[in-house]
Amino acid sequence: MDRQEAIEFLMDHYENPRNSGPLEHPDVSLTGGNPGCADIITMHARFDKEG
């Protein structure tokens, strides 16, 4: 993927977010980021029986 394709990919996800919001009954939730500039995210994941 070249630079322009990467920019287009990121802009598409920025303009059309997918899978946003909390996940109901996650197996794990982690918060991280850079508190110095208020870039904080929380990620949720759920796993199937195979992991």
Q: What is the pLDDT of residue 10?
A: 95
Q: What is the pLDDT of residue 15?
A: 96
At residue 27's C-alpha, the angle toward residues 23 and 33, to 5°, is 70
Sign of CA dihedral 47, 39, 10, 4: negative
Q: What is the pLDDT of residue 45?
A: 94
Delimit the domains of the chain by residue range.
21-51
Q: Do 51 and 28 form a contact (C-beta atoms < 8 A)?
A: no
Q: What is the pLDDT of residue 21?
A: 81
User: What are the mean pLDDT values of the chain's consecutive 10-residue runs (51 residues total)?
Assistant: 95 92 91 90 91 66
Q: Please give the model's pTM, rounded to 2 decimal places.
A: 0.54
Q: What is the pLDDT of residue 19?
A: 84
Q: Do 27 and 50 form a contact (C-beta atoms < 8 A)?
A: no
Based on C-alpha coordinates, what's the Rg of the chain?
A: 15
